[in-house]
Amino acid sequence: MSTEYPTPATAELQLVDVLRALADPVRLDVVRLLGDGMAHCKGREDWNFGVQKSTMSHHLRILREAGVTDVTIDGRDHWIRLRREDLEARFPGLITGVLSDRAEG
């Protein structure tokens, strides 16, 4: 059985909250990692951004509460996914620009 942590509905996403969440370099790297369109398990080694586990959990919570990501719980696994379609619908071009910045920089 899968459950999800609560996230804001697409219409409730606030630009200031999303930008605040993306302003941190670790959270920006998380979004870029999730830009592949896949759900990533929280326990994977992909999350090694040089911060402690509790700090990483904090960053993931900030992204979720801002509506940038959603988290699905399946048993003991937490699957994190970028809400790219929702963010593009609410703020056209924002996430595309954030993800393409990596290729240019």
CA 62/CA 69 separation, integer angstroms: 9
* pLDDT at site 44: 67
For the stretch 37-85, pLDDT in tens is: 999 998 767 677 888 888 888 999 999 999 999 999 988 889 999 999 9
The pTM of this model reads 0.89
For the stretch 26-50, pLDDT in tens is: 999 999 999 999 999 987 676 778 8
Phi, psi of 81 (to 5 degrees): -135, 140
Burial of 30 by CB count in 10 Å (0-12 exposed, 13-18 middle, 19+ buried)?
buried
Tell me the three-class secondary structure of 67-94, residue by residue: CCEEEEEECCEEEEEECHHHHHHHCCCH
List the one residue out of 40, 48, 10, 34 whose CA is nearest residue 95.
34
Domain ranges, ordered by start, for the chain: 2-104
* pLDDT at site 105: 47
Contact indicator for 93, 24 with CB cutoff of 8 Å:
no
- 2-104 has CATH 1.10.10.10 classification: yes
